[in-house]
Chain A
Amino acid sequence: MPKPSDLLQGTLDLLILKTLATAPLHGWAVAKRIQVLSGEVLAVGQGSLYPALHRLEQQGWLRAEWKDSDLGRPAKVYSLTRAGRKQLDRELDSWNRLCSAVQLLIETA
């Protein structure tokens, strides 16, 4: 198994918001999903996942509830708030701008 590459600074919020955009998930599932969907390329360290989740919750972009889960016991399930969706759009925007800028630089330089 190749070592998953480190996450680019600042993209973690985007990944979490995007992951939660389809369905509410608990922390473990968020980590798994990011890993799976990125084809095992991206792995989120737990040390940064949970502080990120808490921060997003504090900022009002996520809402958290203790719910029964597929883990067989209640887990803290995060879902996107309306404000969170808007934030996701903004983050996607800036990500796209960054990508095209980097692309442009690589192609022309």
Chain B
Amino acid sequence: MRVYRVFMHRLRSIFRKSRADADLQREIEIHLEQLVKEAVASGMNESEARMMARRRFGPLERTKEECRDTRRVDVIDNFTCDVRYALRIIWTKRSFSVPALLTLALGIGANIAIFSVVDAVLIRSLPYAQPEKLVGVSNSAVFSGQVINDWPLSLEMYAAYNQQAQSFADFGVWTPGAAAVTGAGDPDEVATASMTHGVLPALGVQPYLGRWFSSADEVPGAQKAVILSYKYWRRRFGGSERVLGQLVLIDFVPYQVVGVMPRSFEFLNVDPDVFLAQSVANGAPGSADADYSGVARLKPGVSLAQANQDIARVLSIWGAGNAEWGQALEELRVKPNIHPLKQDVVGDVGAVLEILMGALVIVLLLVCANVANLVQVRAHARRGEFAIRTALGAGRGRVASQLIVESLALATLGGAAGLALAYAALRVLVTHGPSTLPRISEIAMDSTSLLFALACSLLSGMLFGFIALLKSGFSSRLQNARGSSPSAEQLRAQNVLVVAQVALALVLLVGAGLLVRSFIALSAVKPGFTHPEQIQTIRLFIPEAQIPEPERLAQMQADILHQVAAIPGVTAAGFATALPLELEYHNGVPVSVEGKTPVGRIPPNRTIKYVSPGLLFALGTRLIAGRDFAWSDLGSQRRVALVSQNMARENWGEPQDALGKRIRIGADGPWSVVVGVAENVYDDGVDQPPPALVYFPGVRRGVTFALRSTRAGTEGLVKEITAKVHVVDSSLPLVNVRTLSALYRSTMERRSFALVLLGIAAVMAVTLSIIGVYGVLAYAVAQRRKEISIRVAVGAEPRTIKALFLRQGLILTCLGGAVGLVSARGVSHWMSSLLFGVTPADPLTFGVSGAVILAAALAASYVPSRRAASLHPIEALRSD
């Protein structure tokens, strides 16, 4: 209670200072009046009484001042006074404050922007209830010596897990896809997520309209069910509530709409338009394909380790029930991999963001070092003022706190500007950042970012304030009011700062350099196709409901190919189940080689593609031996295949020796004869080793057409293609209309995002360290003007003077460079996940980065050195 009253009282005296003063005045007047009255009553006349009262009361103003003193609000009073003074200094000394504020705004702004991204992507929990209970369910397996941690589940596994797992409260599997929505209106290509009924309950997001899927929706032959995303519901159905129960044709199959998800719902890191109920039939064709990602909510109190144990148990029971799969589990050493769901959502972008955050913290440190320099130079210039204030009775602490308050004010203003910058930068980032950046819609400035901004500003203010305080060394020697040379320790402190700056900048430069080298190495990779910018791609899916017979399907695809190949300007055309880099249609299928794969063993997985004749020519993939497919191969009794060069070398040594050899899918399929060997294709992205590829001629419902034309990517060509396709069938939607180079670029996105931002950080760092080196030398020259003039007066050559300062710059830079190279070597392995074709210790990158820093620093020291050399002896007389 007392504490409260004291506090309120003090608050009042601060904020209602004038009121408190008026009260005091009145209180004292009353007392004086009483004295006067008393005196008059005892017979004095009025004016005499007044004089007497004043005399008896004593020194009026001192009493008042003593009363005021009891309020004891100095700390806060002084603070507001300091702040006011600091703001005035910032405003009047703009030549000092503008560069300081600019660098601060850049440094802090960049940090806020990237922190907002890191926060949204990595730190913030997933937008579901109790996200810590959500896990991703996949398996780990060993394929030809390589451990794969995200081997997906098959529907058979799902059924087993679903029935027997005891650690999941809810569990389901899903797989992404694409489908055509036909019926009323234009055909519509939609992104789909096919899922079992446990997925949405596991995430715990209630539908906006209707219901979740039920297990009844999964029974083969039952009415198929679809749940719409909010976005698609608004777009296709105008947000009508009567959509529930309606039938929608998806890939020509009627689906009943059972629900609409809310607007805020985000499905992991994909953005499907519709959610389809996955039918689950044990033992049905395709149910053994491992294509499904699992999502589960753990029961309360179940840990990840317990869940893994539980699923391992289920897996072994399941394997024991089926000899073939039991063997597969054994050979591939399949183990359950239950992991936090966030891992699935965030993916491998985490490493990039961590590196960027680290880089920007370095930049902020550089900013602080530079601003500390500026503040310190200001402090030095004001040491006369400080000395006078000390002489007048200001305590050392008072003067120091003034400097700190000034630094904090500077940092807060810089931080506010940085906040504005970060806001703008984030908008650019969200629109131009890599589309693969997960959770991009969650990236925004929020209270966390604001708190971070505040912490960032205050901490950097404290940091450079204290550095400046220590460096100016005035806490120990304030008496030094007259201009004289700076003390040795002062210069040493400054030198340490420059060394640190050069070192930090070099670390960033090496990081950016390594990325540049990776990029050069990536561009040098021959991907197995030529001029991807000339290859137009279109994906077509012909659903079973429309054309059930495989013969008609093959005919239709051939017709379309002939139609589009006849478009003027198209020089070659073909189609395949998946073009290079089309990771979404990726597969892995066991392929046996006659005479090489031991009988009774599961052969290693290969990427297989069904391709049309002429596709390899259209892509520019060279044939190394043998021949391409011919149209006659399609209907022929003699099954044929092509293999990639690495597949041929692995099995038969020389590409030539592969011809005539036989391979087959699985352990018991029909044999196909190898008729040709194609060069390796970097099918998984140019940064991945080229996989062993097997090509078959054949008919599949979903294929991507590749057309080589110099007009690729133009709207005109796309229009002509659409027209030609619609000549064959007018209801087919065209998907993935893009060029192969767009695909090529998107596989580089993660790295180019990192490169661009790290490059910006490195440029900022180098600029800051140049400013730092320049600042320190220029300051040293200014401080030693008198000494230099005397030297010149007694006969020193300008050359010697110049060399004196150049040498100082050189020594500092070399020291910083050495420290930087060692630290860069220490931290560069952090980025190894981003590097390609270059080791983290690449000597060329280190050498060039060092040379760049050295050159920059020398240039920065040259200007002040020259100024020193051109000083006239008369200066010695003039200054001070």
A27 in complex: contacting residue of B9, B31, B71, CB < 8 Å: B31
Residue of A51, A63, A75, A82 with most partner-chain B CB within 10 A: A51
Q: Name the CB-closest residue of B to A76.
A: B27
Q: How far is the CB of A59 from chain B (nearest CB, A)?
A: 7
The answer to the question of A39 belonging to the interface, with a C-beta cut-off of 8 Å to chain B, is no
The answer to the question of B56 belonging to the interface, with a C-beta cut-off of 8 Å to chain A, is yes
A contact residues around B69 at 8 Å (CB) = 51
B contact residues around A73 at 8 Å (CB) = 30
Main secondary structure of the interface of B (DSSP, over half): helix
A contact residues around B62 at 8 Å (CB) = 47
Q: Are A54 and B67 in contact (CB under 8 A)?
A: yes
Q: How far is the CB of B700 from chain A (nearest CB, A)?
A: 86
The answer to the question of B596 belonging to the interface, with a C-beta cut-off of 8 Å to chain A, is no
A57 in complex: contacting residue of B9, B28, B59, B66, CB < 8 Å: B9
Q: Are A54 and B70 in contact (CB under 8 A)?
A: yes
Instruction: Using known A-B contacts A47-B62, A71-B34, A75-B30, determine if residue A81 contacts B67 with beta carbons closer than 8 Å.
Output: no
A contact residues around B811 at 8 Å (CB) = none
Q: Mark B55-66, 1 if CB is under 8 A from A, else 0.
A: 011110011001
Instruction: Using known A-B contacts A58-B6, A76-B23, determine if residue A26 contacts B30 with beta carbons closer than 8 Å.
Output: yes
B interface size (C-beta, 8 A): 28
The answer to the question of A95 belonging to the interface, with a C-beta cut-off of 8 Å to chain B, is no
A contact residues around B9 at 8 Å (CB) = 57-58, 60
The answer to the question of A11 belonging to the interface, with a C-beta cut-off of 8 Å to chain B, is no
B contact residues around A60 at 8 Å (CB) = 2-3, 5-6, 9
The answer to the question of A101 belonging to the interface, with a C-beta cut-off of 8 Å to chain B, is no
Q: Are B6 and A50 in contact (CB under 8 A)?
A: no
Q: Mark B39-66, 1 if CB is under 8 A from A, else 0.
A: 0000000000000000011110011001
The answer to the question of B75 belonging to the interface, with a C-beta cut-off of 8 Å to chain A, is no
Q: Mark A14-34, 1 if CB is under 8 A from B, else 0.
A: 000000000000111001000
Q: Name the CB-closest residue of A to B59.
A: A47
The answer to the question of A45 belonging to the interface, with a C-beta cut-off of 8 Å to chain B, is yes
A contact residues around B1 at 8 Å (CB) = 82-83
Q: Are B30 and A46 in contact (CB under 8 A)?
A: no
Q: Name the CB-closest residue of B to A69.
A: B30
B contact residues around A59 at 8 Å (CB) = 6
Q: How far is the CB of A74 from chain B (nearest CB, A)?
A: 9
The answer to the question of A55 belonging to the interface, with a C-beta cut-off of 8 Å to chain B, is yes
Residue of B23, B62, B66 with most partner-chain A CB within 10 A: B66
For window 38-53 of chain A, which residues contact chain B by CB distance below 8 Å?
45-47, 50-51
Q: Are A71 and B30 in contact (CB under 8 A)?
A: yes
Query: Cα distance A75–B32 when bound, in Å?
Result: 13
For window 4-41 of chain B, which residues contact chain A by CB distance below 8 Å?
5-6, 9-10, 23-24, 26-28, 30-31, 33-34
Q: Name the CB-closest residue of A to B26.
A: A76
Q: Name the CB-closest residue of A to B56.
A: A46
The answer to the question of B72 belonging to the interface, with a C-beta cut-off of 8 Å to chain A, is yes
B67 in complex: contacting residue of A26, A31, A50, CB < 8 Å: A50
Query: Cα distance A46–B29 when bound, in Å?
Result: 12
Tell me the number of A-to-B contacts counted with CB atoms below 8 Å. 69
Q: Are A81 and B5 in contact (CB under 8 A)?
A: yes
Query: Cα distance A58–B13 when bound, in Å?
Result: 10
Q: Name the CB-closest residue of A to B33.
A: A71
A contact residues around B3 at 8 Å (CB) = 60
B contact residues around A46 at 8 Å (CB) = 28, 31, 56-58, 63
Q: Are B27 and A75 in contact (CB under 8 A)?
A: yes
Q: Are B72 and A58 in contact (CB under 8 A)?
A: yes
For window 50-109 of chain A, which residues contact chain B by CB distance below 8 Å?
50-51, 54-55, 57-60, 63, 66, 71, 73, 75-76, 81-83
Query: Cα distance A93–B62 when bound, in Å?
Result: 32
A interface size (C-beta, 8 A): 24
Q: Are B2 and A81 in contact (CB under 8 A)?
A: yes
Instruction: Using known A-B contacts A51-B63, A54-B67, A55-B70, determine if residue A27 contacts B27 with beta carbons closer than 8 Å.
Output: yes
B contact residues around A27 at 8 Å (CB) = 27, 30-31
Q: Are A51 and B67 in contact (CB under 8 A)?
A: yes
A58 in complex: contacting residue of B28, B33, B58, B70, CB < 8 Å: B70
Residue of B6, B28, B31, B57 with most partner-chain A CB within 10 A: B31
Q: How far is the CB of A104 from chain B (nearest CB, A)?
A: 35
Instruction: Using known A-B contacts A60-B2, A60-B6, A82-B1, determine if residue A50 contacts B27 with beta carbons closer than 8 Å.
Output: yes
B contact residues around A50 at 8 Å (CB) = 24, 27-28, 31, 63, 66-67
Q: How far is the CB of A26 from chain B (nearest CB, A)?
A: 7
A contact residues around B30 at 8 Å (CB) = 26-28, 71, 73, 75-76
B contact residues around A83 at 8 Å (CB) = 1-2
Q: Name the CB-closest residue of A to B67.
A: A54
Query: Cα distance A21–B24 when bound, in Å?
Result: 23
Instruction: Using known A-B contacts A26-B30, A46-B31, A75-B30, determine if residue A51 contacts B6 with beta carbons closer than 8 Å.
Output: no
A contact residues around B34 at 8 Å (CB) = 28, 71
B contact residues around A82 at 8 Å (CB) = 1
Query: Cα distance A78–B471 when bound, in Å?
Result: 52
Q: Are B66 and A51 in contact (CB under 8 A)?
A: yes
Q: Name the CB-closest residue of B to A86.
A: B2
A contact residues around B71 at 8 Å (CB) = 54, 58
Query: Cα distance A47–B66 when bound, in Å?
Result: 9
A contact residues around B6 at 8 Å (CB) = 58-60
For window 457-507 of chain B, which residues contact chain A by CB distance below 8 Å?
none
Query: Cα distance A45–B63 when bound, in Å?
Result: 10
Q: Name the CB-closest residue of B to A53.
A: B67
Query: Cα distance A34–B31 when bound, in Å?
Result: 15
Residue of B1, B24, B27, B72 with most partner-chain A CB within 10 A: B27
B57 in complex: contacting residue of A26, A47, A58, A76, CB < 8 Å: A47
Query: Cα distance A75–B5 when bound, in Å?
Result: 21
Q: How far is the CB of A12 from chain B (nearest CB, A)?
A: 13
Q: Name the CB-closest residue of B to A59.
A: B6
Q: Name the CB-closest residue of A to B72.
A: A58
Query: Cα distance A75–B69 when bound, in Å?
Result: 22
For window 271-328 of chain B, which residues contact chain A by CB distance below 8 Å?
none
Q: How far is the CB of B816 from chain A (nearest CB, A)?
A: 55
Instruction: Using known A-B contacts A71-B34, A75-B30, determine if residue A47 contacts B70 with beta carbons closer than 8 Å.
Output: no
Query: Cα distance A73–B10 when bound, in Å?
Result: 27
Query: Cα distance A76–B57 when bound, in Å?
Result: 18
Query: Cα distance A92–B356 when bound, in Å?
Result: 69
B contact residues around A57 at 8 Å (CB) = 9, 70
Q: How far is the CB of B85 from chain A (nearest CB, A)?
A: 27
Q: Are B70 and A51 in contact (CB under 8 A)?
A: yes
B contact residues around A76 at 8 Å (CB) = 23, 26-27, 30
Q: How far is the CB of A91 from chain B (nearest CB, A)?
A: 16
Query: Cα distance A55–B569 when bound, in Å?
Result: 96
B contact residues around A58 at 8 Å (CB) = 6, 9-10, 70-72
A contact residues around B33 at 8 Å (CB) = 71
Query: Cα distance A57–B24 when bound, in Å?
Result: 13
Query: Cα distance A20–B578 when bound, in Å?
Result: 96
Q: How far is the CB of A86 from chain B (nearest CB, A)?
A: 9
Residue of A28, A73, A83 with most partner-chain B CB within 10 A: A28
Q: Mark B668-694, 1 if CB is under 8 A from A, else 0.
A: 000000000000000000000000000
A contact residues around B10 at 8 Å (CB) = 58
Q: How far is the CB of A84 from chain B (nearest CB, A)?
A: 9
Q: How far is the CB of B872 from chain A (nearest CB, A)?
A: 62
CB<8 Å pairs between A and B, sample of 13: A27-B30, A46-B57, A46-B63, A47-B63, A51-B63, A54-B24, A54-B71, A57-B70, A58-B6, A58-B72, A60-B3, A66-B23, A76-B27
Top 4 A-B residue pairs of the complex, sorted by shortest distance between their CB atoms: A51-B66, A60-B2, A47-B58, A55-B70
Starting from the known contacts A27-B30, A28-B30, A46-B63, 6 additional A-B residue pairs (CB-CB under 8 Å) come to A47-B58, A50-B27, A58-B6, A58-B9, A71-B33, A83-B1
